[in-house]
Amino acid sequence: MAIQDIYPTALRLLGRPVLVVGGGPVATRRAKGLLDAGARVTVVAPLASAGLEELADAGLITWEQRTYRTSDVDGAWFVQTATGDSVVDARVSADAEAQRIWCVNASDHEASAAWTPAVAVVDDVQIAVNAGGDPRRAMALRDAVATALETGDLPLRRQRAHRGSVALVGGGPGDTGLITVRGRRLLGQADVVVADRLGPRELLNELAPDVRVIEVGKTPGHHPVPQAEINRILVEEALAGHRVVRLKGGDPYVLGRGGEEAEFCRQHGVEVEVVSGVTSAISVPAAAGIPVTHRGLAKGFSVVTGHEELSEVPARADHTIVLLMGVGQLRESAAALAAAGLPQDTPVGIVENGYLPNQRVTIGTVGSIADQAEATGVANPAVIVIGDVVRVSPFAPSHFKTADYSTTTPNQPRVLTK
């Protein structure tokens, strides 16, 4: 039987009697799949696998513990034979053919009246792949298609009317490879994308032509679309029946006002999902080789914006401080930390445009960093890291690396020997 002779279709077997002949692994898999489809399954086999016995003991299938009889196919809507004996399988197939009942013959795919495809389910989409009777090939293709759907490389977007919803998706620090699989999938399903200026902007170019992109990006001190208007847009579009993705940089719940947007949606009866993202507070320093914690250097960290008071943040070099949106007030922030007792020689690193081709790293100290930033023209988007962890960065100057902070001897700086 050639693949051209196949007419692809799907069977609705809910409540309908089906027959499985055989009790081995293949018969077990097929019986479970038929149960999932809601069929009334009868298994005929002298011996059955432990899995089939459990199903029978639970009353989910009927097990006839004997050899096959021709009358077993009577009244069945569908038959699966998988005895491992080609002679028995051929007999079952012939009996089903005589009664015009579709039968899958596991022993001989060429002689089989029907084939069972390799199946995967992604959201409410079912993928079924036939590959010329080659089950391993079919499974490999099924897995590849399922992965492409899950990662958003293939569209899952509905084309018919559906209930509107909002997904707050953290897009990560900007690199398209750092958005989560779930976030990428939801983006591929979106009818409307409400986008910030940060995050994986290149993914917007991959959207279908009829997906609307609403730009609401903010810059420090310039909010052309106020938060209240963003909230209104999300609810209005969802209530119009659209799937809305609010694509944000970093994580929507880390200084991203995602909590406000989620609360507003729920107050107006809109279903909302929050998809965490790779926050720039941790990932951007990592792009410059700076860990926010490191044994022997720092056990904890605080994340604040440059607009926040720093008086309550621990002013110690062994407690990492991560400043977001802090370039404009860097001089004031450094002075406030110094006044709170943070030593002037505490290392500071600034990472601009993390993970992007124009990434730039500037490293100095609490006492020098403001002048360095002004001299080199440091600008947002940038993440500022303050603390001894900056010493670990490969971009740190050599005089910062006077000690090897060992990870094998926690909390014990080991002086390097020359």
The pLDDT of residue 222 is 54
Best CA proximity match to 218, nearest among 106, 100, 307, 103: 307
**Bridging pattern class, strands 243-248 and 192-195:** parallel
Rounded-to-integer distance, Cα 52 and Cα 24, Å: 9
Q: pTM above the 0.75 mark?
A: no
Instruction: Say whether pLDDT at 7 is over 70.
Output: yes
CATH class belonging to 165-278: alpha beta
DSSP for 330-376? HHHHHHHHHHTT--TT-EEEEEESTTSTT-EEEEEETTTHHHHHHHH
Could you give the 3-state DSSP secondary structure of residue 400?
Answer: helix
Active-site amino acid positions: 196, 218
CATH class of this structure's domain 3-116:
alpha beta
Domain boundaries, the chain: 3-116, 117-150, 165-278, 282-414
Confirm if 227 and 202 have CB atoms less than 8 A apart.
no
Which residues on neighbouring strands pair with residue 194, listed in sequence order? 214, 246
pLDDT (tens digit per residue) in 74-128: 999 999 999 999 999 999 999 999 999 999 998 887 788 888 888 888 777 888 8
> If residue 28 lies in a helix (H) or strand (E), which one and from where to where?
helix 25-36
Residue 408 has pLDDT above 80, yes or no: no
The domain defined by 282-414 folds into 3.30.950
Residue type, 223: H
| Residue-wise pLDDT tens digits, 151-177 | 777 777 666 656 899 999 999 998 888
pLDDT in tens, 261-295: 999 999 999 999 999 999 999 999 999 999 999 98
